[in-house]
Chain A
Amino acid sequence: MADRAMVETRVLRVLRWVVIAGLVLVTLFPFYYMLLLSIRPIEEVLQNPGRVWAGPADWTITTYREVLTSAEDGGQGFVKFLANSALVSLAATAVTLLVSIPGAYAVSRLRFVGRKQVHFLFLAVYLFPSILLAIPLFVLFTRLGLRGSLGGLTIVYIAQTVPVSIYMLRNYLTTIPESLEEAAAVDGYSRLQTLRKIVLPLAAPAVMANALYVFMIAWNEFLFALLFLVEDRADWTVSLGLAQLSGGIEVSKTVLMAGSVVLTVPIVIIFFAAERLLTEGLTAGADKG
């Protein structure tokens, strides 16, 4: 048996590095390819589709210029899309936090009628098919005249992120010792004051992670943007704009790749800046088995 253990250990030691290299290649290569295509001229890409390297001499920034220039000046107007995406995502993040912080506090600390049922409701919302929700919201927003407005989209994002947000925050709030709050109560703090002055500063990392998470969901969302905003180009988010333009043949692929980079870069920056915060927030509770 010892032989088998030794042989396996040796094989696995090599195999592990092969797997790690494979994983890095498989996950990073598409992003590298995205960046590469975005800086190569389209004629050159069509001639040499198999190239995976381009020296600085072959680089071009005309793709980025075209994608960012406004539509009136002959470009694709992604700056406008970026502004729409940022507006919707930031508003959704702010309101979600405003709503979910007191909610999470209530769920983690206070006993009230129906606390158990609330868990079930949130779980159901989290796992609910968004396509099912899309139909009535599409109809309702058409009726209310909210379709085609960024505000309507923001409301949908808030409703979709609040349950997850409360769940994540709750996990963190339960780790804050309750004696702190009792001490604050003895000092004459009201419940709201305690939440603002004691709990919130302590929960700052979790709140931050949560904000980034909600922002990422809103920034990446596609289905509802497609359903609500598709009619007027001025309302498009970056995701929607990219999807709409990539269906046609008028805009060259390298220009759209530049659009993809523009869409992806904010997320990658946020992610690498806060990776630890985010992964811990996501899997909180998973390791309890």
Chain B
Amino acid sequence: MVATSRKDPPAPTPAAASRRVLTRRQRENRAGLAYLSPTLIVVLVVVVLPVLWTVMLGFQRIRLINLRRAGVFGDYTLANLELVLTSPGFWSSLWTTLVYTIGATFGSILLGLIAALALRGRFRGRTFVRASVLLPYVAPVVAVTFVWESLLSPQFGLANNWGTRFLGWDRPIAFLSQREYEVSLFGWHFDVPLALLTVIVFEAWRYFPFAFLFLLARLQAVPQDLEEAARVDGAAPTQIFRHVLLPQLGAVIALLTVLRFIMTFNKFDDVYLLTGGGAGTEVVSVRVYNFLTARFDIGAASAQALVLALGLIVLLAVYLKFLAPRVEGES
């Protein structure tokens, strides 16, 4: 990338002069740091330091009222961690988060893959269709959750109205506020976690465009003659997909899986806005928010967030393992 400007610094003939005049390399170093310094300052002040502070808060008994007492030399304790790990609902909320994350990640990538395959070839109106498909991803989360709530509302929602009229439902289904829904299938009765399932479907709907974008970009980079050759040899479309396209997509799908997993794992807005964390959908981030705003228990909220972060660091390590060779290759 910078190969052209790589010249050896001039040999320092007079020792005194070289001390005053900076070498080209040194000047470049200084300029680089200077140009980047605003960014570094912002990130340091608004991201890095606060995070370090969270770590400290997580090990002190702090509520908003006695915040003034909090400092670097506060009383460190493991009480928060103990409180969080033993409090009712923590483990179930971690489980909920995991189910939600895996479901939404898988759903969005699968839907994105189907969309990418369908919209790959040219047809009239493709630009319009492609742009519309991206709408769920770019539209404001508050607006789309509100529309979904209205669509699924038991009182005036379209889904329930049509369900009772055309699908023969006995009564409206409260998609977002019912924890368990009994389903009978071939004489078997079992409960599905309805609200959680609805939230997962929403998440897959909102984020499949993200997967779609990446997969489509990769699909279009697959050399045409590969597919052409397979077709000439009489391969069926599903075979071409399985043996020609899928191997090409492997890396992007792996990348998407990790990216979507991490992002969904931390997601707050969607669940909070749809259900408020009720009906068996309380994911860890919503729980942290409740600790923070309802109880003003900063210590416990921090400890909980740290548990979330710890899970994340593990995931990040996995991600870097995937990404590291790519970054090396780029720069």
Contact = CB atoms under 8 A, between A and B. Distances in A.
B114 interface: yes
A27 B34 CA distance: 45
B165 interface: yes
Given A111-B2, A219-B140, A268-B139, A5 B236 contact: yes
Given A5-B235, A243-B273, A106 B35 contact: yes
Interface residues of A, number: 109
Interface stretch (B14-22, B83-91, B191-199, B285-293): B285-293
A118 B191 CA distance: 49
A289 interface: yes
B38 A103 contact: yes
Interface string B129-145: 11111111011111110
B128 to A, nearest CB: 9
Nearest to A280: B217
A103 B35 contact: yes
B129 A222 contact: no
Chain B, interface size category, equals: 35 or more
A83 interface: no
B147 A260 contact: yes
A242 B269 contact: no
A24 B133 contact: yes
Nearest to B115: A23
Contacts of A63: none
B149 A246 contact: yes
A76 to B, nearest CB: 14
B244 interface: no
A127 B141 contact: no
Interface of A is mostly: helix
A130 interface: yes
A67 interface: no
Contacts of A140: 50, 53
Interface stretch (A54-62, A152-160, A200-208): A152-160
A46 B288 CA distance: 37
B155 to A, nearest CB: 8
Given A222-B269, A271-B138, A134 B29 contact: no
B236 A8 contact: yes
Nearest to A220: B140
A49 B135 contact: no
B176 interface: no
B309 A174 contact: no
Interface in B281-312: 285, 288-289, 292-293, 298, 301-302, 305-306, 308-309, 312
25 contacts: A5-B235, A9-B236, A9-B237, A20-B123, A23-B119, A30-B144, A33-B150, A37-B150, A50-B162, A109-B2, A112-B33, A127-B319, A129-B308, A135-B54, A136-B53, A158-B46, A159-B47, A162-B43, A178-B5, A223-B268, A239-B141, A246-B146, A260-B147, A263-B143, A271-B135
Given A111-B28, A131-B268, A159-B46, 15 more contacts: A19-B114, A26-B205, A31-B147, A33-B151, A45-B156, A49-B160, A99-B39, A110-B28, A110-B31, A112-B31, A123-B320, A134-B288, A142-B64, A159-B43, A287-B217
Interface of B: 1-2, 4-5, 25, 28-36, 38-40, 42-43, 45-48, 50-51, 53-54, 57, 64, 67, 70, 114-115, 118-119, 121, 123, 127, 129-136, 138-144, 146-151, 155-158, 160-162, 165, 205, 209, 213-214, 217-218, 220-221, 231, 234-239, 248, 251-252, 255, 259, 262-263, 265-266, 268-269, 273, 285, 288-289, 292-293, 298, 301-302, 305-306, 308-309, 312, 316, 319-320, 323, 326-327, 329-331
